Amino acid sequence: MSKQLIEKIREHIVDYELKVLDAIEVFKYQKDRYDINYTIAIGASDADIDMSAFKGLIRKTDGFSYLEDNICVIIFAFNDANQGIKAASNMLSKFEMQYFGKKIYLGMINSQEEEKADKQIKKLFETLCYGIENGMSNIPLDYDEISSMKARG
């Protein structure tokens, strides 16, 4: 199943990247204008899961957008990389209570780690696919974390 999810992502990557770019536009403006950081998280599952549940678990200042039925993007506003990971962990644990036993993959990147939106999005999908390929479900994976894993071996 996971292999099919990766194939689906790679097949539609251009459309997904454009949707993510659109979803982060306001946050990117705030970063450029006021130096307010944000974290982008992309959630995906090969199970039939209603990803709209994520929308009910985020703050009003955060963003949510569907890429597909079982793939969504969440933008956590006003945070650094550590705060973004904590917010995603909290959200994911609440989500898991509703969908116990379902695999959810979550890739993340913070605007402090990469300032250019196009590179953020590329790294975001790289992180997501790495998590799927390596069976790293139900944990938030940050791009820096997978970079160090790759470097080690």
Choose the most confident range, by mean pLDDT, from 17-26, 46-55, 140-149. Answer: 17-26
* pLDDT for the residue numbered 107: 96
Q: pLDDT class for 102, splitting at 50, 70, 90?
A: confident
Question: Using a CB cutoff of 8 Å and minimum separation of 24, what contacts does 137-140 make?
Answer: 137/103, 137/104, 137/105, 138/92, 138/96, 138/103, 138/104, 139/89, 139/92, 139/106, 140/41, 140/85, 140/88, 140/89, 140/92, 140/106, 140/108
Domains of the chain (ranges; CATH) run 2-145 (3.30.70.270)
- The tokens describing 60, both together, are 């009003």
Q: pLDDT tens digits, residue range 53-100?
A: 788 888 899 999 999 889 999 999 998 989 999 999 998 888 878 778
* pTM score of the predicted model: 0.92
Q: pLDDT tens digits, residue range 23-49?
A: 999 999 999 999 999 999 999 998 888
